[in-house]
Chain A
Amino acid sequence: DAKTTQPTSMDCAEGRAANLPCNHSTISGNEYVYWYRQIHSQGPQYIIHGLKNNETNEMASLIITEDRKSSTLILPHATLRDTAVYYCIAINSGGSNYKLTFGKGTLLTVNP
């Protein structure tokens, strides 16, 4: 699985969009980009994943650059409950049996 690089921490004002970057310059063609988050004292939570097209669901949007070397997770209207550590992972798995390996992630702090 490709290595990913994320900023250690970011701040965002409540109600504003939070844009979390991730660099995955060594990603291979069949690796998906996944985003999970971990709110303090809770289990990791899946947010979104994508291969090369931009994706949107009820939680967030994922923008992947055309060369697939980086991506941005967008929380359109951040709330205090979005304060968490966000993990970007590149996973190569054609099936659902895969191991999750989290790096340090980005601590997003949403401020009132």
Chain B
Amino acid sequence: NAGVTQTPKFRILKIGQSMTLQCTQDMNHNYMYWYRQDPGMGLKLIYYSVGAGITDKGEVPNGYNVSRSTTEDFPLRLELAAPSQTSVYFCASTRPGEYQPQHFGDGTRLSIL
């Protein structure tokens, strides 16, 4: 059981480039999340989704876009990369039900130069 898989693990982008961070889960979880974690800091929620076709903004959505065409996949798109988006990005998922824990991938380390 792979859980939550994120690709790539590392990436360096130039300012203004675009890329998509991939996230897939094989646990049939309805809810999925994208967080970013800056060095020495906690998590900040970027976007989340409660099911296929449904997404919503978190705390820091500017500069990002998401889509959820299937239950398994929740890609995060950076359209015009900026140095402020240098961070570690984590995808998480959880199943319906009260107080279910979130399961995380191992992150994508993104540097924008």
Contact = CB atoms under 8 A, between A and B. Distances in A.
A49 B48 CA distance: 22
Interface residues of A, number: 22
A94 interface: yes
Most buried by B among A41, A97, A101: A97
Contacts of B61: none
Contacts of B45: 99-100
Interface string A98-112: 011111100000000
Given A42-B107, A46-B103, A96-B31, A103 B42 contact: yes
A86 interface: no
Contacts of A99: 33, 45, 48, 58-59
Contacts of B101: 34, 46, 49
Interface in A1-47: 32, 34, 41-46
Interface residues of B, number: 27
A100 B102 CA distance: 9
Contacts of B43: 44, 100-102
A43 B96 CA distance: 21
Contact of B94 (A41, A42, A96): A96
B74 interface: no
The A interface, classified by DSSP as helix, strand, loop or mixed, is loop
B97 interface: yes
B14 to A, nearest CB: 24
A96 B92 CA distance: 12
A91 to B, nearest CB: 8
Interface string B48-66: 1010000000110000000
Contacts of A42: 106-107
Contacts of A103: 42
Interface of B: 4, 31, 33, 35, 42-43, 45, 48, 50, 58-59, 90, 92, 94-107
Q: Which A-B residue pairs are the 7 nearest by beta carbons? A: A43-B104, A102-B42, A46-B101, A96-B100, A96-B94, A99-B45, A44-B104
